[in-house]
Amino acid sequence: MTERIAIAMDLGGTKIKLGLVQDGKVLGMTQIDAYSDQGLRGRLPFVKLTIDKLLEEKNISTDQLSGVGVSIPGIVDSVQRKVLSIDKKYGDAPEIDFPAWAQQAWDLPIILENDARSALVGEWQYGHGKGVDNVVLMTLGTGVGTSAVIEGKVLRGKHFQAGCLGGHFTVNLSGGVCNCGNIGCVESESSSWSLEEKVKAQPMYSKSLLRVEPKIDFSVLFQWAEKKDHLAIQMRDQCLDVWSACAINLIHAYDPEVLLLGGGIMGSGAYIIPYLQSKINELAWTPWGKVEVRAASSFDSAALLGVGYLVFHQN
């Protein structure tokens, strides 16, 4: 192999995805359980063992490697390679010396990046954002992640939080308290972690067929809405309007040509994308034309591809 190879890691809340990335391709990928509520430090030896096994399986030696790229939720200082702030998952991450760990494990440099930014870089370089130098991403799932590329540059900001806090745009001044401490955030109004509590608080809940579900998530919500359950329809449409508001805020803030949608609930993308496109066409102030809404293309591996790219290109 002539092209250099990067170790890539995507630290999700449930699973840690681990891969070897070369020139926009994942040469090999595996995953281990995250146990993110127990912190990250205790998982690092297992991460190393799993990567070493993957290197052996692919017959790749460490002298073929250029670096380690890590995608992690939270606010990340990509210059000093440290986690500044993180919510609930991997609570000990701000205390970890990532460069020292990578040096000790493989004698390699490391880059750290926010998970939504990592995914957007992967999409921008290799997926449905390719060729578009002004693009934003929304990931819909447990939380709501966002990121932006403006004029071909990854938006980070002076304190590394620019672009990645769209899930904490205020969309309801009378809403509930978010995990971040703010009132009426996009996340507290419409994400997986807040959905069940909001559904059960509705007066119609006792008459809704949602009450038979052991767990209420977006998959269940969309299924019952298709079956014409009144509460499911009401809550689905409310969530869609919240996501639309978030998308329009992103458009007004960052002036993209394309809005990419990804995340765990995009199994319902055939319904979500046209809805958001219609709302954006109607309500976004874009005199130059219309922002195109696209599904993210390779979301299982986008963050791995993104941090793999950043190992070689410090955009």
Low-confidence ranges of the chain (pLDDT < 70): 1-2, 298-299, 315
CA distance 74 to 56: 32
Say what the pLDDT of residue 38 is.
Answer: 96
What fold, for 5-120+300-313? Nucleotidyltransferase; domain 5 (3.30.420)
Q: What is the pLDDT of residues 10-45, one digit of tens each?
A: 999 889 999 999 999 999 999 999 999 999 999 999
Domain residue spans of the chain: 5-120+300-313, 131-295
Q: What is the pLDDT of residues 36-51, one digit of tens each?
A: 999 999 999 999 999 9
Give the pLDDT score at 112.
Answer: 98
> In the CATH scheme, what is the homologous superfamily, with its name and number, of domain 131-295?
ATPase, nucleotide binding domain (3.30.420.40)
115: its two tokens: 């998970």
pLDDT at 299: 63
Determine the pLDDT at residue 314: 78
Tell me if 5-120+300-313 shares its fold with 131-295: yes
pTM of the prediction?
0.94
3-state secondary structure the chain: CCCCEEEEEEECCCEEEEEEEECCEEEEEEEEECCHHHCCHHHHHHHHHHHHHHHHHCCCCHHHEEEEEEEECCEEECCCCEEEECCCCCCCHHHCCHHHHHHHHHCCCEEEEEHHHHHHHHHHHHCCCCCCCCEEEEEECCCEEEEEEECCEECCCCCCCCCCCHHHCECCCCCCECCCCCECEHHHHCCHHHHHHHHHCCHHHHHCHHHHCCCCCHHHHHHHHHCCCHHHHHHHHHHHHHHHHHHHHHHHHHCCCEEEEECCCHHHHHHHHHHHHHHHHHHCCCCCCCCEEEECCCCCCHHHHHHHHHHHCCC
